[in-house]
Amino acid sequence: MKLEQAGYDAGLVAQWERRDLLAAWTRVVAAEFHQAAAEACEFSGIENVEDGEHYEAADVVVDRERLRWSLEERRLMLEERRLEEQRLQREQEERRWKREFELKERELDLKRITAEREEAQKDNIAMKLKIWGEASKNA
């Protein structure tokens, strides 16, 4: 794929042996690096640089870029960690809220059942007689 992008014919590349493929790929990568080093020197304002010095100057630029990316990666990792902690805290709050809700539901069910039992006892004829008897004694 990389060789095809560099302009090599796909049919020829498919017929090459491993050794030839590696040699061609090495040439392509070296050319890209040399070009990138020259561009890095040009971008950083370094002029009149010999071929060997391109690599040293490019290393400085590449090290700066690597440091910038490293700092960016750290910032992203911290941001991801902060978001993960927020998600975990939100999930914990949801579980706590759900437990409280279920507890309140049980309390309401218990109160409803108690009220139904009391109502059933009030409607019971034996209970009515007992209440009437107690009321007539106290009267």
Mark residue 48 as left, alpha or beta (left: phi above 0; alpha: psi -120 to 50; beta: remaining): left
C-alpha to C-alpha distance for 64 and 43, rounded to whole angstroms: 13
Q: What is the arithmetic mean of pLDDT over 13-23? A: 78
Looking at residues 113-124, what average pLDDT do you find?
Answer: 86
Are 57 and 40 a contacting pair, CB within 8 Å? yes
CA distances to 2, 15, 31, 51 from 25, rounded to whole Å, are 8, 15, 10, 21
pLDDT for the residue numbered 60: 57
Least confident range of 34-43, 50-59, 80-89? 50-59
